């Protein structure tokens, strides 16, 4: 049996009677890219927020590396190796790419209060920042203010920031949002380069990216999981076709 690094048991989240997630059982296998798809309002971002610790489930459990983390706060999950990106880019736009990366690295090592003191003199920190920038195609932009990056490049920077703490699991919430076809292809290529290095749960509407990246796909509709399988299995699933993919059968 494959190693399961992150999973849920009957996860439920409701808001004043509205059920956002119902008995959600998701398993993320070590080293896989697992896509979570579904129509708007299906509960995908709510699920991600519970996995990361931003939302407390109404009921059910979340396990990471065999440990129950259901009530564990975000920062403790991050220390354990669970990292998340967001639909809206969250970078310091006035700071350079290098400074953004250096701050993230320092924060994960518990020394962010030293950031403003002579960052240029810290060779190890600069080397680590350059390595992250290289991995995500941003090396030539190290000295550029993050606000001057194209939208797709900001996405690349944001995901690079999630890697600063050497996480085991990446929770990526619609990384392709707002990116044109060219940028989406480039980000897909970069994410594919992470395959096997991290376990990735990917929420995404760009089906070209999903089908190119996913080892397995889970489909949410009205907060409920209706199918999990390989790309081929999900493409052929009549219930998924009717509910989301829009393919006539």
pLDDT computed for residue 249 by the predictor: 37
The predicted structure's pLDDT at residue 1: 56
Domain containing residue 182: CATH number: 3.40.50.300
DSSP three-state, residue 25: coil
Please give the mean pLDDT across all residues of the chain: 88
Condensed to tens digits (0 to 9), the pLDDT of residues 61-85 reads 999 999 999 999 998 998 899 998 8
Using the structure block, give the residue that is written with the tokens 């610790």.
Answer: 53
Quick: pLDDT tens for 151-180.
889 889 988 988 888 899 999 999 998 888
Condensed to tens digits (0 to 9), the pLDDT of residues 107-121 reads 776 554 455 555 556
Residue 89: the pLDDT is: 59
Domain count, the chain: 1
As to burial, measured by CB atoms within 10 angstroms (0-12 exposed, 13-18 middle, 19+ buried), residue 249 is exposed
Contact 96, 174 (CB under 8 A): no
Task: Give the model's pLDDT for residue 142.
Answer: 92
Q: In the chain, which stretches have pLDDT less than 50?
A: 112-113, 248-249
For 156, phi then psi, to 5°, come to -60, -40
pTM of the complete model: 0.88
pLDDT reported for residue 171:
95
Domain that holds residue 200: 4-245
């Amino acid at each position: 049996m494959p190693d399961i690094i992150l999973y849920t048991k009957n996860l439920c989240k409701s808001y004043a009677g509205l059920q956002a997630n119902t008995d959600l059982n998701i398993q993320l296998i070590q080293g896989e890219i697992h896509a979570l798809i579904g129509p708007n309002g299906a509960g995908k971002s709510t699920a991600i927020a519970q996995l990361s610790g931003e939302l407390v489930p109404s009921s059910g459990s979340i396990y990471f590396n065999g440990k129950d983390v259901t009530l564990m706060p975000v920062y403790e999950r991050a220390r354990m190796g669970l990292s998340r990106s967001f639909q809206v880019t969250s970078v310091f736009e006035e700071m350079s790419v290098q400074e953004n990366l250096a701050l993230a690295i320092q924060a994960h090592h518990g020394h962010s209060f030293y950031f403003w003191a002579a960052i240029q003199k810290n060779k190890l920190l600069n080397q680590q920042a350059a390595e992250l920038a290289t991995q995500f195609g941003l090396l030539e932009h190290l000295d550029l203010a993050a606000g001057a990056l194209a939208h797709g490049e900001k996405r690349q920077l944001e995901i690079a920031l999630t890697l600063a703490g050497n996480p085991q699991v990446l929770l990526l919430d619609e990384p392709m949002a707002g990116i044109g076809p060219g940028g989406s292809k480039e980000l897909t290529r970069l994410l594919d380069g992470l395959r096997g290095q991290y376990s990735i749960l990917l929420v995404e509407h760009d089906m070209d990216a999903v089908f190119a990246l996913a080892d397995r796909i889970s489909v949410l509709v009205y907060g409920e999981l209706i199918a999990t399988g390989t790309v081929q299995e999900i493409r052929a699933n009549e219930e998924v076709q009717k509910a989301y993919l829009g393919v006539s059968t």
